[in-house]
């Protein structure tokens, strides 16, 4: 049964979603002056005002503000079904920066609709989430479908690693009450033809590493051969953590045991969809991919440790590069780590490898930040059935289950806080949705499908309390 159609979404959500898309409400990590700039507040007010126009029997809309932190919105909707317990629906409204020049006719803050797709920064990651959560609940009340008490929680620091979320979870502990189901609307999808449920997320370790050799730069003709190059020492240090010929990580603490079901489900996905990663990633023609097969690539992307060097400093742009032996080289190392390891412990092991017995006794500074990975807890039978039913009703097909290669650090934190809670992580970030990249896009029918599936899941939760 369809509770919401695309034209409902176009009428009820699209105008405000489009306005939201034009606001550069960057996450604090990308806008140090976010508070003075006021874009996050502006976008949060816009969303809250939109929620205020929706129709509920019993609703409380609050924007919470802890001094020095980004605001957080809760929409608390009273139960229409007997029974205690809370369902939390999570999303975020802060955005990644534009990244670079967008394609012809597209721009990060000038939303454009092409066919059934809306292009702008933040529409899919994760602006749609407020609309999906609220419209699902509004449809239930309109149709007289019972639901438990629900709290829609929209935060504004996710793209910075959710540094503000913990403080709000402390603040809202009593308000959230006994949480029984957590629906996270910020995850990925392999295709747009079904509901995708995330079974795991990798953790992340970010390390800022600086190797210094001189007080200040020197003519390379006078210093080279005597002063060791900071870049060469950086290479040696990187060789300790990553095999440069294979890309394999060399620190044992960054490996976890890969469960059999992960390999089986990767085989299954590969059988149905073929080499989905080879197809979807914009690799240059002729590039030899890592991994031995389609299934192996799926496992590698979701359960293997990897290193990406995501930033460098101390090296001039080629157009102004003089013959100088430079005083230092900095690199930002981004490790993705398996869902089931202790990312903090792993980060300490990497720091140890990078900073002990440094070649030539060069000066090394290293600091790190981590986000824990997450493995979905086993689904309760009522929830497994609801996911099946929700996907079939909304998309005409059974749901897909897969791990994600990215990280949503707070899910690990939430799982620790609420160990008994049932989790559903799903989302609209499918092929060409380009979260974090140029040309971000929301596939509108998928947003509608996810919203309908949320109705089925919340219905099943309420009914599971009756039996
Ligand atoms: Zn997100």
Q: What's the CA-to-centroid distance between 356 and ligand 1, angstroms?
A: 36
CB-CB contact of 249 with 358 (8 Å): no
Q: What's the CA-to-centroid distance between 445 and ligand 1, angstroms?
A: 19
Query: Of 345, 371, 397, which closes a domain?
Result: 371
What pLDDT digit, counting tens, does each position of 171-184 carry?
Answer: 999 999 999 999 99
Q: Write the DSSP string, 304-323.
A: S-EEEEEEEES---GGG--S
**Given this model, what pLDDT does residue 467 score?**
63
What pLDDT digit, counting tens, does each position of 33-70 carry?
Answer: 999 999 999 999 999 999 999 999 999 999 999 999 99
Q: What's the CA-to-centroid distance between 243 and ligand 1, angstroms?
A: 31
Q: What's the CA-to-centroid distance between 467 and ligand 1, angstroms?
A: 35
Find the helix or strand (DSSP H, E) in which 135 lies.
helix 128-142
Q: What's the CA-to-centroid distance between 32 and ligand 1, angstroms?
A: 19
Q: Which residue has the higher pLDDT, 83 or 438?
A: 438
Q: What's the CA-to-centroid distance between 25 and ligand 1, angstroms?
A: 13
Q: State the Cα angle at 132 between 128 and 134, rounded to 5°.
A: 120
Asked if the structure places residue 234 within a domain, the reply is yes
Contacts of 8 (CB under 8 A, 6+ apart): 135, 448
CATH number at 382 reads 3.40.630.10
CA distance 380 to 53: 35
**Given this model, what pLDDT does residue 193 score?**
95
Q: What's the CA-to-centroid distance between 373 and ligand 1, angstroms?
A: 15
CA separation, residue 113 to residues 110, 119, 431 (Å): 10, 6, 17
**Given this model, what pLDDT does residue 46 score?**
98
Whether 364 and 379 map to the same domain: the answer is no
> Kind of pairing, strands 203-212 and 59-64?
unpaired
Q: What's the CA-to-centroid distance between 255 and ligand 1, angstroms?
A: 25
Tokens of 407: 């990280």
**Given this model, what pLDDT does residue 3 score?**
94
Q: What's the CA-to-centroid distance between 339 and ligand 1, angstroms?
A: 18
Q: What's the CA-to-centroid distance between 388 and ligand 1, angstroms?
A: 24
Tokens of 146: 């019972």
CA distance 165 to 163: 6
Q: What's the CA-to-centroid distance between 122 and ligand 1, angstroms?
A: 8
CA separation, residue 142 to residues 79, 136, 139, 153, 397 (Å): 14, 10, 5, 22, 26
72 has pLDDT over 70: yes
Query: Of 356, 371, 386, which closes a domain?
Result: 371
Whether 319 and 186 map to the same domain: the answer is no
Whether 216 and 358 map to the same domain: the answer is yes
Whether 169 and 82 map to the same domain: the answer is yes
Which range marks the domain in which residue 412 is found? 6-201+374-466
Q: What's the CA-to-centroid distance between 352 and ligand 1, angstroms?
A: 31
Asked if the structure places residue 280 within a domain, the reply is no
Whether 161 and 228 map to the same domain: the answer is no
411 has pLDDT over 90: no
Q: What's the CA-to-centroid distance between 429 and ligand 1, angstroms?
A: 9
Q: Write the DSSP string, 333-385.
A: EEEEE-TTS-HHHHHHHHHHHHHSS-GGG-EEEEEEEEE--EEPPPPPHHHHH
Q: What is the mean pLDDT of residues 277-289?
A: 92
Whether 379 and 356 map to the same domain: the answer is no
**Given this model, what pLDDT does residue 416 score?**
82
Q: What's the CA-to-centroid distance between 13 and ligand 1, angstroms?
A: 19
Find the helix or strand (DSSP H, E) in which 99 lies.
none
Q: What's the CA-to-centroid distance between 439 and ligand 1, angstroms?
A: 15
7 has pLDDT over 80: yes
Whether 414 and 319 map to the same domain: the answer is no
Q: What's the CA-to-centroid distance between 27 and ligand 1, angstroms?
A: 11
Tokens of 197: 């449920």
**pLDDT band per the 50, 70, 90 thresholds, residue 161:** confident
**pLDDT band per the 50, 70, 90 thresholds, residue 83:** confident
Q: What's the CA-to-centroid distance between 125 and ligand 1, angstroms?
A: 4
Query: Of 228, 251, 210, which Cα lies nearest the Cα of 353?
Result: 251
Q: What's the CA-to-centroid distance between 126 and ligand 1, angstroms?
A: 5
**Given this model, what pLDDT does residue 375 score?**
92
Asked if the structure places residue 279 within a domain, the reply is no
**pLDDT band per the 50, 70, 90 thresholds, residue 407:** confident
Per the structure, the count of domains in the chain is 2
Average pLDDT along the chain: 95
């Amino acid at each position: 049964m369809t509770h919401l159609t695309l034209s409902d979404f176009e009428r009820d959500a699209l105008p405000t979603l489009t306005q939201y898309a034009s606001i550069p409400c960057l996450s604090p990590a990308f806008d140090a002056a976010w508070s003075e700039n006021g874009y996050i507040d502006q976008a949060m007010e816009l969303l809250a005002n939109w929620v205020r126009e929706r129709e509920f029997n019993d609703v409380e809309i609050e924007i919470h503000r802890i001094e020095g932190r980004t605001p957080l919105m809760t929409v608390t909707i009273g139960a229409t079904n007997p029974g205690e317990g809370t369902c939390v629906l999570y999303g975020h409204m802060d955005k990644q920066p534009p990244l670079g020049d967008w394609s012809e006719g597209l721009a990060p803050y000038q939303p454009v609709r092409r066919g059934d797709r809306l292009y702008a920064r933040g529409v899919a990651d994760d602006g749609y989430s407020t609309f999906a959560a609220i419209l699902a609940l509004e449809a239930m009340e309109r149709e007289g479908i019972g639901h438990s008490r629900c709290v829609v929680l929209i935060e504004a620091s996710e793209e910075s690693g959710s540094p503000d979320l913990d403080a709000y979870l402390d603040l809202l502990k009593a308000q959230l009450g006994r949480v029984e189901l957590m629906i996270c609307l910020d995850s990925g999808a392999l295709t747009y033809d079904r509901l995708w449920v995330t079974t795991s997320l990798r953790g992340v370790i970010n390390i800022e590493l600086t190797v210094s050799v001189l007080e200040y730069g020197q003519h390379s003709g006078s210093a080279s051969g005597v002063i060791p190059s900071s870049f060469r020492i950086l290479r040696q240090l990187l060789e300790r953590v990553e095999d440069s010929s294979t890309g394999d990580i060399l620190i044992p603490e960054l490996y976890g045991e890969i469960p059999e079901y992960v390999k089986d489900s990767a085989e299954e996905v590969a059988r149905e969809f073929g080499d989905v990663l080879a197809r979807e990633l914009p690799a240059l023609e002729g590039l030899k991919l890592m991994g031995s097969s389609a299934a192996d690539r799926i496992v590698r992307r979701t359960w293997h440790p990897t290193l990406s060097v995501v930033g460098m400093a101390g090296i001039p742009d080629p157009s102004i590069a003089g013959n100088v032996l430079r005083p230092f080289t900095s690199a930002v190392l981004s490790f993705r780590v398996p869902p089931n390891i202790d990312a903090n412990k792993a980060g300490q092991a990497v720091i140890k490898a990078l900073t002990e017995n440094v070649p030539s006794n060069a000066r090394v500074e290293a600091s790190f930040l981590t986000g824990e990975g997450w493995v979905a807890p086993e689904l309760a039978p009522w929830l497994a059935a609801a996911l099946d039913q929700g996907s079939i009703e909304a998309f005409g097909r059974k749901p897909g289950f897969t791990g994600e290669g990215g990280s949503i650090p707070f899910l690990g934190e939430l799982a620790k806080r609420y160990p008994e809670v049932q989790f559903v992580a799903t989302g609209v970030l499918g092929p060409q949705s380009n979260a974090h990249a140029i040309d971000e896009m929301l596939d509108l029918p998928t947003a509608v499908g996810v919203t309908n599936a949320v109705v089925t899941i919340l219905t099943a939760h309420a009914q599971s309390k009756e039996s």
